A = this chain, B = another copy of it.
Amino acid sequence: MQELVTDGWKPDSSLALPLHIQISNYIQAKIRSGAWPAGMRLAAQRDLARQLGVNRSTLVSALGQLTALGLIEGRRGGGTRVALSNDAHSNRAGNWNDYVEEGIHYPNLPTIQAINRLEFTKGLIRLGTGELSPELLPNETMKSILADLSRQSLPLSYEEPLGSLQLRTAISKELSNIGIHAAPSSILILSGALQGLQLIGQGLLPRGSTLLLEKPSYLYSIHSFQSVGVKLYGLPMDSEGLMTQGIEAEVHRTKASLLYTIPTYHNPTGILMTEERRHLLMNTTRALGLPILEDGAYQDLWLDNPPPPSLKAMDREGRVLHLGTLSKTVSPGLRIGWAVGPEPVIRRLADIKMQSDYGSSSLSQLLAAKWLEEGYHARHCEVLRMELRRRRDAVLDMLSTHFGHLASWNRPTGGFYIWLSLNKPLPLTKLFKAALEVGLLLNTGDLYNRSDARHLRLSYAYASLTELEIGIKRLAELVSSF
């Protein structure tokens, strides 16, 4: 694991103390305090110099001093690490460096780790980010709700295992508008829908079981299921959604125990599953007794027409577990999502949630309840749809201008994403790095299907239209040059 200097410290050239001494002092303090433990690898000199904003030669003289002090040492195979035995650390000190590569949970994909970190780097144009631009978030409304809350008694204690009853009641009412009839006792509040995947992976599926899903899928970019030993088996899609023909054979072959789908504005392809396909999927899986996990994150974000009924709305057997969230429409920072399903399943997930984090923020839950109860959500979604429609249309125009000869793409009818299909395969990791060099942060197709080499997930939700125009043009130049 390459370690970066993450706290943004840089030496100060206005000080009398030479830069290399400042750097040496800084690193000494890190090592002597134990923040950088024995054996920790340092980043490559080039990367370190860039992060510290100094010449390579300045860095080299700082590292020379640290080596002379016995605090760092060269590694076999190149690179530098904190010395295993030095006056600050006994060489028998617990070696955390081994531990960070242990543990059953897989690390994020390197590209995802880079994206998570780089999203907080200023100046990059984020062409694939799956969240709303800050300017599209309802800051003023939230401030006025907070002002209201500051005049009432606050829920500062723990909430019950399923989450705040007030919020579950509000969600129950909201869901009934889209045909899902679920009592508050069938709803579990989550810290975002992602937590639902984590809890289901840990709480419902035996190690070694198989999960069917669309390919590509957002689920391939995270490890909620693989980390607990669940195998993923991807099924093809067409323009009407997940293709159902292969399901029966795969269920028999793999003994699959669950099917995960994003029927509405699929991530990353933007595809909307047609009503006919939904019926077919429900019938096929009913005959097989196959439970479904429906990810409804983009449900409210229709742009042209409301989507067909959700799978949960078509379910009378308690066979569908449905995930929803406020992250894609209102505020990712609130961390409020929900799972809707049969009561025994909801109860089991709630028990594991209690063991994971003892419930979600009561303040976020209260704010979310007010947001839904007082009708802000419906009004906000209307405005949001208008804005996203404008952005989608503009980006489709930009693509016609710059990518007409390089790629093809879908016209999404909701959600955030355009799935750009390049005319020829490209080395996507190289493209990601090259894009970064010209200030573009990409979500490459291999995140959603390991073997993909010709797709990019574009999002019209995050970057401004000006940024998108610059970014798409620059991206087209880059792709042409490959």
Contacts and interface: CB of A to CB of B under 8 A. Distances in A.
B35 A204 contact: no
A174 interface: no
A212 interface: no
Given A88-B317, A316-B88, A354-B108, A156 B331 contact: yes
Contacts of A32: 316
A103 B351 contact: no
Contacts of A292: 94
A253 interface: no
Given A6-B185, A154-B142, A100 B364 contact: no
Contacts of A224: 355
Contacts of A117: 160-161
Interface string A241-272: 00000000000000001000000000000000
Contacts of A134: 156-157
Contacts of A102: 204-206, 209
Interface string A1-22: 1010111000000000000000
Given A194-B357, A335-B360, A351-B107, A315 B34 contact: yes
Interface residue range, chain A:
35 or more
A150 interface: yes
Contact of A7 (B6, B185, B192): B185
29 contacts: A1-B347, A7-B184, A33-B181, A34-B319, A88-B317, A90-B317, A93-B286, A93-B317, A94-B289, A96-B318, A97-B344, A99-B257, A104-B207, A108-B354, A134-B156, A138-B156, A139-B154, A155-B333, A156-B331, A156-B332, A156-B334, A158-B332, A158-B333, A192-B358, A333-B359, A334-B361, A356-B356, A361-B363, A363-B364
Given A107-B348, A335-B362, 16 more contacts: A3-B343, A90-B286, A93-B317, A96-B291, A96-B318, A96-B319, A108-B354, A119-B158, A120-B160, A139-B153, A157-B333, A191-B361, A192-B358, A331-B362, A356-B356, A363-B364
